[in-house]
Structure 1
Amino acid sequence: MTVLNDFLLLLDSFLGSAIWFPYLLLGVGLFFTLYLGFPQLRYFKRAWQILLGKHDHSRCEGDTSHFQALSTALSGTVGTGNIGGVAFAIFLGGPAALFWMWVTAFLGMTTKFVEVTLSHKYRVKTEDGTMAGGPMYFMERKLNAKWLAIIFALATVLSSFGAGNMPQINNIASGMQSSFGIEPWLSGAVLSILLGLVIIGGISRIAAVTSKIVPFMAAIYIFGALTVIGFNIDNIGPAFVSIFSDAFTGSAAAGGFLGASFAYAFSRGVNRGLFSNEAGQGSAAIAHASAKADEPVSEGMVSILEPFIDTIILCTLTGLVILSSGVWTEKFENTFPRSEMVILQGQFSDQNEQDRQQLYQYLVEGKQDVVQPFTGELIVKEGRLVDNRVTIINARSVAESVKFEHEGKHSFSGLLQVQNGKIVDKSIKVIGKSLIHSTQLTAKAFTRGFMGQYGEYVVTIGILLFAFSTAISWSYYGDRAMTYLFGARSVMPYRVIYVAGFMWAAVADTSVIWNIAAVAIVLMTLPNLVGIVLLHKDMKQSVKQYWQQKK
């Protein structure tokens, strides 16, 4: 897992974490925002009207209503990105990351409007009578770029596992174990069976299920978040100040948090924003292509609401809960994943400014001129480290109160073999206090409200519903891509593998899962952005014709 994690981090350094990617994503959104005259503002009211049936055409071809298409697309985006993804962004980039998530969402409203309109316009009817659409169809039918369509479809299949499948069950299993003591493998087994029963029914059953789950889960989560925000109301003002004041300077060190530069906060905010609302990725366009509408622009308008609901509302609530509660700078006892833990040579303190700078350079910038991983033997007695030659790092923070145990929960005593900062014996478990991230961090923040420790259950239930519905929707995206690539016969084998992958990810390393998602998302986004930019004139003409027809 460590080797795989390192490889994924290397890939991500050239893709999503590369300096060019956030500028490309925001640049495309900004271009279309200006080119089309701020459609996310001008068409916002009409989008709600269409969604509520004012301009509905039920006799049009399609498999779902506007509301069902939006629910399916929202269930694909409203998932771990809103609960774990926001926490991960703040963990990496501090409060400033939330600001750049907002910017990504605002510009992403236009990007989604474009990709959904074009995908609906060039959709096709399959052999079984259902509608199939998505960026791969406008790439082939309008751009005559089948090679680009194939790349996108392959990336969609990969993303269905890397973004829509594995991170979801991993977070569900983690939350169920933390809150209720349910073993991850059991959560994976039960939910895999339920997932299989839903996705076998195709888009009709998927839309029926998601249209019920999405409003219910959103109401529960919003209520829970508001109770925490209300309890910490005095900290909301300072939280907003830190978000805006740090946006162009980066976030300073606080507590166990070592700080983040502007470039890093910007990159993480945009990256997590994309993971949350998927604007520019082209995934939601596949769901909207099934909607009953003879005017592609009207369906594009409905999709404008997705980044608004997903990021501007839900992600903001999560961010304010985490920031106002203060848990993002605190250390909590947890079991250290091997991929996130490293033993460094020398003693470092996160209370010393020089040490913080050196640790930041090593952990974030990858510099090893001052800080180096330890290699050698360490003496441990009754679970406690006797040697004071080293510093243990977990989750990018200096670990405290560290204990070493065998997998059977017996304290370890003896010589600990360490190679390049990693413990050689994989049977040894390390427990201690450090920063936490993802769903764990959000769950801890929800305990700092009126509900106390019961607030954790809101996150557990929320992640169960959010993440499970995301996995359902992404199975549909994957099977549409498989239909495009290999025909309808490939769908059932894909669904079987999809369910199997869902179960496996329940017991996999969290960091590895998130890094797979980061790489998969970018591999899907790049072909889509290229496609919609090449069709910018087609898009503008479609909007012009829509309003001419209305007049």
Structure 2
Amino acid sequence: MLENIIESVNDVVWGVPMLILIMGTGIYLTFRLAFLQFRTLPYALKLAFSPRSQDKKSKGDITHFQALTTALAATIGTGNIAGVATAVVLGGPGAVFWMWISALFGMATKYAEAVLAVKYRVQNKNGEFSGGPMYYIEKGLKLKWLAVLFAIFGALAAFGIGNVVQSNSVSDALSASFNVPSWVTGLVLMVLAGLVILGGIKAIGRVTAYFVPVMALFYIIAGLVIIVTNWELVPAAVSLIFTDAFTGQAAAGGAIGAVIRWGVARGVFSNEAGLGSAPIAAAAAKTDYPGRQALVSMTQVFIDTIVVCSITGIAIVMGDLYTGGALRGADLTSSTFEFFLGGTGATIVAVGLTFFAFSTILGWSYYGEKCFGYLFKEEYVKYYRFLFVILIFAGAIGKIDVVWGFADIMNGLMAVPNLIGLLGLAGVVVSETHRFLKVAREEKLQKKDPHSENQ
């Protein structure tokens, strides 16, 4: 009965109104920012992957790149492997197209979240920075009660979507592929994650800066091998993705609404644009202007959905194993990779899922502790960290269907206060954007003519 109740609530929380609110916010911010995500993407990618002098002289705990990889650690996870497959099964190949659309508008949302996170961040007595929706809702909108609600939802969601469901996914994958006992997986994950998490954001940032690029490249290269070596299947697969996006004929029941719903829902689940999680990491970045870090944060959606999810989606459509619904989730992705690459393909997905889930645990541990730290005194955060680490083991050895549903609800409820904050503070985002872009133009001119400043 409890599972049925949670499933019913989940359907409401992640129903059409929520998806319209998330997409609508992204569209609104896109127009307010004059399609900034399209105009500045090359510059944003350059900022993200180039070391800058601001990292040394600006205030913050971690570099631009570490903030990006911490956010990517939390978002590149089961959604990229299992989420895309679920979208294709329930929505049809056209769902991949709507994942792209949600990401393109979601980039504006993610940008706005990071601007506000840096602008309204605070510094504690230890010199560490804290920020995110709870701070910009309280300080910008002056709605303390709404900020508290976000922090409660975030602290609880981290235990579920960012912890036990991830360790459980790793346990299942390693048990099925390599016959590793669940308790062994849980113990190893708990120890490895504990060594990083108990060190705080600086330790998390250092680990993810090395771990995330390797992890993502490992999976991306495997997917590209499938696409390149079976190039003759790509045109038909891409064509089907575009045509089905507007016809829905390959979806369950042939409904165009199902294509859009599952594409948008799984896109948001993967890149978390609008949920308010990633700006918590952005607030810790060393940066001189909110707009500079916001452009870096924006690239996270591009990398997560436009790059990683696309590779999964196109490969699944090429393999054509999604019809009939016998396979779904990670099993479908694993079977597709095995179809093209043999037994090696299934191993790649199992290892990829393990890395992705582990990185999600690291990223969400920071989100959860910052939400907890907002609600209680900073000295109590260490107890949250210890509990978080212990629950990694519990998730690996337990049955967590109810926890997954509850975590999904908390994850969705996080978005409501955050989206209210984004819409209410859109004017601040626009103002900060104009301020930074003026500085960026001056920096560009200075590079072209180093003497222009003195003329």
Q: Fold match, TM over 0.5?
A: yes
Aligned counterpart in structure 1 of residue 25 of structure 2, from 25, 28, 34 = 28
What is the match of residue 237 of structure 1?
235
Q: Which of 339, 343, 349 is residue 459 of structure 1 equivalent to? A: 349
Matched residue SS, 1:327: coil
- Spell out, residue by residue over 1:187-216, the C-alpha distance to the aligned partner (whole angstroms, 9 max, x if none): 122211211121000001100111111110
What's the TM-score, normalizing by structure 2? 0.93
- 1:174 paired with 2:172, answer yes
Q: What's the Cα RMSD here?
A: 1.7
How far residue 513 of structure 1 moved from its aligned partner, in angstroms, is 5.2
Partner of 1:324: 318
Q: CA deviation at 1:55?
A: 6.4
Cα deviation for residue 259 of structure 1 reads: 4.3
Q: For residue 350 of structure 1, what is the aligned residue in structure 2?
A: none
**Where does residue 301 of structure 2 map in the other structure?**
307
| Contact residue 54 and residue 288 of structure 2 kept, 8 A | no
> Contact 2:156–2:407 (CA<8 Å) still a contact in 1?
no
Greater mean deviation of Cα atoms: 317-326 or 526-535: 317-326
CA–CA distance in structure 1, aligned partners of residues 323 and 53 of structure 2: 49
Partner of residue 19, structure 1: 16
Cα separation, partners in 2 of 1:499 and 1:286, compared to 1, 3 Å: same
TM-score (norm 1): 0.77
Kindly indicate which of the two structures has a greater share of residues assigned to helix. 2
The question of 1:190 aligning with 2:188 is answered yes
CA deviations over 1:47-71 (Å, ceiling 9, x no partner)? 1232213563421111101111111
Partner of 1:226: 224
CA distance in 2, matches of 1:128, 1:49: 32
Question: Cα deviation per residue 1:327-383 (whole Å; 9 max; x = unaligned)?
Answer: 2126xxxxxxxxxxxxxxxxxxxxxxxxxxxxxxxxxxxxxxxxxxxxxxxxxxxxx
C-alpha spacing 1:510/1:76, structure 2 compared with 1 (3 Å): same
Note the C-alpha offset of 1:262.
Answer: 1.7
2:299 counterpart letter in structure 1: L
Q: Which residue of the partner structure matches residue 47 of structure 1?
A: 44
| 1:506 corresponds to | 396
Residue 519 of structure 1: how far off its partner (Å) = 1.6
**Counterpart code for 1:89:** A
Deviates more, 1:315-324 or 1:89-98: 89-98
Alignment of 1:81-480 (within 5 A): 81-252=79-250, 258-259=252-253, 261-329=255-323, 435-449=326-340, 451-480=341-370
SS at match of 1:502: helix
Q: Quick check: 519-528 or 29-38, which moved more? A: 519-528
Given that 2:61 and 2:284 are in contact with CA atoms closer than 8 Å, whether structure 1 keeps it comes out as yes
How far apart are 1:83 and its partner, in Å?
A: 1.0
Q: Distance in 2 between matches of 1:29 and 1:529?
A: 10
**1:159: Cα distance to partner?**
1.7
Q: Return the alpha-carbon distance in structure 2 between the equivalents of residues 24 and 108 of structure 1.
A: 12
Tell me by how many angstroms 1:45 deviates. Answer: 1.9
In the superposition, relative to structure 1, how do residues 473 and 124 fare at CA in structure 2: closer, same or farther (>3 Å)?
same
Distance 1:166 1:259, change over 3 A: farther
Counterparts in 2 of 1:167 and 1:235: CA distance versus 1, 3 Å = farther
Work out the CA distance in 1 between the residues paired with 2:407 and 2:330.
15
Letter in 2 for 1:92: L
CA distance in 1, matches of 2:358, 2:2: 26
Identical aligned residues as a percent: 40
* 1:175–1:440 Cα contact (<8 Å) kept: no
Q: Where do 1:54-65 residues align within 5 Å?
A: 54=52, 56-65=54-63
- The one-letter code matched in structure 1 to 2:230 is N
Q: Which moved more, 1:107-116 or 1:157-166?
A: 157-166
Give CA deviations for 1:395-421 in whole Å, capped at 9, x if unaligned. Answer: xx5xxxxxxxxxxxxxxxxxxxxxxxx
Offset of residue 468 of structure 1: 0.2
Query: Quick check: 2:37–2:107 contact (8 Å CA) kept in 1?
Result: yes
1:33 shift after superposition? 0.4
Structure 2 matches for 1:66-81, cutoff 5 A? Answer: 66-81=64-79
Indicate the SS of the match to 2:307. Answer: helix
Q: Which runs of 5+ in 1 are unaligned?
A: 331-396, 398-434
Structure whose CA Rg is larger: 1
Kept in 2, the 8 Å contact 1:63–1:204? The answer is: yes
Question: Residues 260, 496 of structure 1: CA spacing in aligned structure 2 closer, same or farther, 3 A cutoff?
Answer: farther
Letter in 2 for 1:183: P
User: Residue 430 of structure 2 corresponds to which residue in structure 1?
Assistant: 540
User: CA contact under 8 A between 1:93 and 1:259: conserved in structure 2?
Assistant: no
Unaligned runs of 5+ in 2: 443-455
Q: Which of the pair is proportionally richer in strand? A: 1
What amino acid sits opposite 1:43 in the alignment? Answer: T
Could you tell me which of 356, 367, 383 is aligned with 1:493? 383
SS for the counterpart of 2:162 is coil
Q: Distance in 2 between matches of 1:252 and 1:179?
A: 31
Q: State how far apart, in whole Å, the 2-side matches of 1:440 and 1:504 are.
A: 23
When residues 193 and 260 of structure 1 are mapped into structure 2, their CA distance, relative to the original with a 3 A threshold, is farther
Moved more, 52-61 or 288-297: 52-61
CA offsets 1:275-309 (integer angstroms, 9 cap, x no match): 10011111110001111112011000111111100
Corresponding residue number in structure 1 for 2:445: none
Name which structure has the greater RCO, CA cutoff 8 Å, separation 6+. Answer: 2
Worse overlay, 516-525 or 311-320: 516-525
Other structure's SS at 1:246 match: helix
Q: Are the equivalent residues in 2 in contact too, given 1:162–1:517 (CA < 8 A)?
A: yes
Residues 1:266 and 1:512: Cα distance change in structure 2 (over 3 Å): farther
The whole-number CA distance in structure 2 between the counterparts of 1:272 and 1:26 is 13
- Matched residues in 2 for 1:282 and 1:507: separation? 30
Residues 502/57 of structure 1: CA separation in 2 closer, same or farther (3 Å cut)? closer
2:421 to 500, 513, 531: 531
